[in-house]
Amino acid sequence: MMQVDGVFNLNKPPRITSRQAVDRVKHALRVPKAGHGGTLDPDATGVLLVCLGKGTKLFDQLQKGTKEYEGTLRLGITTDTLDASGNVQKVSDVGQVTEEEIRVVAQQFMGEIEQAVPMFSAVKHKGKRLYKLAHQGVALDELPKRTVRVESLEVLSVRPPHVQFRVVCSKGTYIRVLAADIGASLGCGAHLSQLTRTRSGDFTLESSHTLDWLEEQPSRAYEAVVPVDVVFDMGVGTVPTKDGR
């Protein structure tokens, strides 16, 4: 085991959990202690900040940073998980939904908004994880709610039934809830079909590294770990790019 302290900016691949991704980084770099600063759902890709050694003390600081995502919502189909991995609950016609309506409704979700925490999430209710209750078939009369902030929400393209968007938001924002709420406001329902986190605080997708790159050349990967003191100074500094500049 080696003593490595800092943050590794991982481009998480789809179909693995954030915890599984962290374990692979931990194994490749042979470090005894690692965690992540901000969960990504298994199907989501992009920036996952893996904290190593003393870097695990940076969790709170990393969580506070704004997040940026690019994703696609699928109009006309709702699922129990609010994303593509769930069971279909309802299918609706989207033929009457116009691009103008979509853009107008999207703007209604700017600023401070209230979100109901999704049933398939790790949030606890009376000491139990919501997703475990969901798997047991337990239904809650009212889900916990939280207030989050959407700084910007840009519709990039509309190709019915798919809508591509970019969102900048505060920590704790559920993008799949945002997609589902937009669909509900349009009257046709929707779910999140694809999501990539493109930025977390000052860490960007462009400066991230893949698991394949890490596992193929772990000796070079140590150079990609951003030291703890650099992370502390990020309010005035920048994150090193892949070539170290």
Backbone angles phi, psi at 76, to 5 degrees: 90, -5
Q: What pLDDT is recorded for position 118?
A: 83
pTM score: 0.89
Backbone angles phi, psi at 230, to 5 degrees: -70, -40
Q: What pLDDT is recorded for position 134?
A: 67
**Residue type at 112 in one-letter notation:** E
Mark the ranges of the chain whose per-residue pLDDT is less than 50. 235-241, 243-245
pLDDT tens digits, 96-148: 999 999 999 999 999 999 999 887 777 776 777 777 776 777 777 778 899 99
Residues 234 and 204: their CA atoms lie apart, in Å, by: 13
Question: How many other β-carbons are positioned within 10 Å of the β-carbon of residue 87?
Answer: 8
**Residue type at 68 in one-letter notation:** E
Residues 39 and 45: their CA atoms lie apart, in Å, by: 11
| Residue 190 exposure: Cα atoms within 13 Å on the Cβ side | 30
* Alpha-carbon distances of 58 from 23, 52, 64, rounded to whole Å: 18, 10, 10
Residues 6+ apart with CB under 8 A from 41: 83, 176, 195
Q: What pLDDT is recorded for position 241?
A: 44
Q: How far is CA 42 from the centre of its chain?
A: 9
Apex 198 CA angle, 146 and 189, nearest 5 = 50
* Torsion angle defined by CA atoms of residues 104, 109, 111 and 113, in that order, rounded to the nearest 10 degrees: 150
Residues 6+ apart with CB under 8 A from 191: 73, 74, 77, 78, 79, 81, 82, 83, 84, 86, 176, 179, 180, 183
Question: How many other β-carbons are positioned within 10 Å of the β-carbon of residue 110?
Answer: 13
Q: Where do the domains of the chain lie, and which CATH numbers do they carry?
A: 6-64+201-232 (3.30.2350.10), 67-198 (3.30.2350.10)
41 is catalytic: yes
Catalytic one among 5, 23, 41, 60? 41
Give percent helix, percent strand, percent coil of the chain, each to the nearest 5: 30, 35, 35
Q: What pLDDT is recorded for position 240?
A: 43
Q: How would you class 183 by CB atoms within 10 Å of its CB: exposed for 0-12, middle for 13-18, buried for 19 or more?
A: buried
| Residue 118 exposure: Cα atoms within 13 Å on the Cβ side | 23
